[in-house]
Chains A and B, each alone.
Chain A
Amino acid sequence: MILYFVCFALTLAIEWGVLLIWVSLRGPSYRTFDLCLLLGGMNCITHPLAWWLLACGNPSFFFAYFGIEIAVVFVEACVLHRLGGLPGRSAFLLSLACNLASLLVGIPLLWFLSFI
Chain B
Amino acid sequence: MFEFNRNKITPRIGSLPSRGLLLRGLLLMLCTLLVTGCGLSKTRADILLPGYKSVKHYLVFEDLSLPPGQLLIVGPTRGLNGFEEIKVGEPFRFSRKYDTRIYLVPVEFSTEAWNQESLQAWPSVIPPVSEINSVPLISSVAEVITNLCFDGVVDGQPVFGVVSQVKLDSLGQVVNPTTFLLIILLLVGVGLALCFYASRRLKAGPLQRQRSGENRRVESS
Q: Which residues of A contact B (CB under 8 A)?
A: 1-4, 6-11, 13-14, 16-21, 23-32, 34-35, 37-38, 40-52, 54-57, 61-62, 65-66, 68-69, 79, 83-86, 90, 102-103, 105-107, 109-110, 112-113, 116
Contact = CB atoms under 8 A, between A and B. Distances in A.
Interface of B: 4, 6-7, 9-13, 15, 17-22, 24-26, 28-29, 31-33, 35-36, 39-41, 43-52, 135-140, 169-171, 173, 175, 179-181, 183-184, 187-188, 190-199, 201-203, 206
The binding surface of chain A is classed by DSSP as helix
Contact of A44 (B17, B138, B175, B191): B191
Given A14-B29, A30-B4, 10 more contacts: A1-B175, A17-B32, A29-B4, A35-B198, A37-B194, A41-B191, A41-B192, A44-B188, A86-B9, A109-B40
A62 B48 CA distance: 11
A91 B152 CA distance: 66
A109 B18 contact: no
B48 A106 contact: yes
A46 to B, nearest CB: 8
Contacts of B45: 7, 10, 106-107, 109-110, 112-113
Given A6-B40, A103-B47, A18 B188 contact: no
A54 B53 CA distance: 13
Contacts of B198: 34-35, 37-38, 41, 83-84
A10 B183 contact: no
A4 B10 CA distance: 36
A17 B28 contact: yes
A40 B190 CA distance: 10
Contacts of B50: 61-62, 65-66, 107
A27 B10 contact: yes
A52 B48 contact: no
B9 A31 contact: yes
A45 B9 contact: no
B44 A49 contact: no
Contacts of A8: 187
Given A1-B183, A40-B194, A49 B188 contact: yes
A6 B195 contact: no
Contacts of A30: 4, 206
B21 A28 contact: yes
A57 B138 CA distance: 9
Given A17-B25, A113-B40, A1 B140 contact: yes
